Structure 1
């Protein structure tokens, strides 16, 4: 059973602190002592979101319907993005991960990060199969930290109990070459499921692409890779 996608919170970016204006060396702001009177320019604060795409821009990079298996249709209630504003960055959650989050549309949250400062997501499904995609943009080196956390999750969730049938799920994970700057693939299988699930996380610069697929007889592997490849190509443009 899929968990609902995370709510869209359009939070305005907090105003950057104004740099303090440097005073000249003379008393009471006078330059008489030195005779030179050099006025220092205020330091310009660096925008931590510089170079990152907004949710509106990330939405355009999501894979189109043609990249998904035939017979799947867009789920309107699963489409969301952060719009033109950047969200406040969240601190990572520590402790044992909730392995059942790997079954949800926004499974990136199993890493301990709620998501990026901007995001876009949607999903395609029928009665038995689904493919979900999401792109999250992170400040600084956080995207690399998210990828590292997901590798740790794969080890910690090697075996867990699913949220629907309370069945034992086995997880295998491996580094995947040829997808973005780095990529990791996880496969979930259970004797109680008709088909397994493939999860791919791929980083492109400061963005992390996450795809979930149960479509096809290969545990969703081919469709997950196709959607991921399509998104990464769009992000490079």
Structure 2
């Protein structure tokens, strides 16, 4: 961490009275008040701007809050292409128009990006079962200030803008529904995707924990992935709360 340079102090030497041999014995030496004063130069430094990312978890920290490989049932394996994080640095936040979202991305990893808001750090992993074609994805995104609350609100706008979309593989219509969900983090929202051409639907859950948003996608289970999505979300939310509490204490 770069430290500010120390303040420079200038000390003026006090003027000492000079005893003059020519003075009469009755006179006493006195200091000249005008010449004997000391001056202290005060350094003027601009205040250091506050770090907008102070206290926010990094991608490295978020990665440790995700459910580990041991959490997933036998048959599930990590997909390297779906495993990413921002490491120990932060990225610049960005906001783009979400007025016309690409609705088909609701069925993809990083679907939380449909809100049009990008955070300063994130971590994500994806697990798939080749035998059943089931998928479980998890992601945590961190935002500055109260932006995470805006992201949650924007999810309702995404669902309103995407009541249906066409599945690229089956060319069939996917129906999208969304509802607020209690008991997960500070607030949560669940999105369900169903299609008569699919064997099973998809459940998406977003849960906010302070400045972070946990997003999960699940196709695992005959209930459109609802139970497995909730279980994974609970796991990540609990782990994230522990990380956030430790960061705040530090």
Question: TM-score with structure 1 length normalisation?
Answer: 0.81
The alpha-carbon distance between structure 1 residues 69 and 216, as it changes in their structure 2 partners (threshold 3 A), is: farther
1:122 aligns with 2:125: yes
Dislocated runs of 4+, deviation >6 Å: 35-38
1:148 aligns with 2:184: no
Which residue is 2:218 aligned to?
Answer: 213
Higher CA-based Rg: 2
Instruction: Give the distance between the partners of 2:73 and 2:111, measured in 1 at CA.
Output: 21
1:57 aligns with 2:57: no
Number of aligned positions between the proteins: 202
1:177 aligns with 2:191: no
Q: Where in structure 2 are there 5+ consecutive unaligned residues?
A: 1-38, 243-250
Instruction: Give the distance between the partners of 2:79 and 2:226, measured in 1 at CA.
Output: 21
Summarize deviations over 1:71-120 as a string: whole Å, max 9, x none.
Answer: 2111122111111110111123242111101011111111112x321111
Q: Would the aligned equivalents of 2:98 and 2:114 in 1 still touch at CA under 8 Å?
A: no
Which residue is 1:108 aligned to?
Answer: 112
Q: Would the aligned equivalents of 2:178 and 2:192 in 1 still touch at CA under 8 Å?
A: yes
Q: How far has the Cα of 1:65 moved from its partner?
A: 2.5
Q: Would the aligned equivalents of 1:67 and 1:230 in 2 still touch at CA under 8 Å?
A: no
Q: 1:92 aligns with which of 78, 93, 96?
A: 96
RCO comparison, higher one (Cα < 8 Å, 6+): 1
Q: How far has the Cα of 1:176 moved from its partner?
A: 0.5
Q: Where in structure 1 are there 5+ consecutive unaligned residues?
A: 1-34
3-state SS in 2 of match to 1:191: coil
1:202 aligns with 2:207: yes
Q: How far has the Cα of 1:180 moved from its partner?
A: 0.6
Q: Would the aligned equivalents of 1:124 and 1:132 in 2 still touch at CA under 8 Å?
A: yes
Which residue is 2:85 aligned to?
Answer: 81
CA RMSD in angstroms, aligned pairs only: 1.7
Question: TM-score with structure 2 length normalisation?
Answer: 0.76
Q: Would the aligned equivalents of 2:179 and 2:189 in 1 still touch at CA under 8 Å?
A: yes
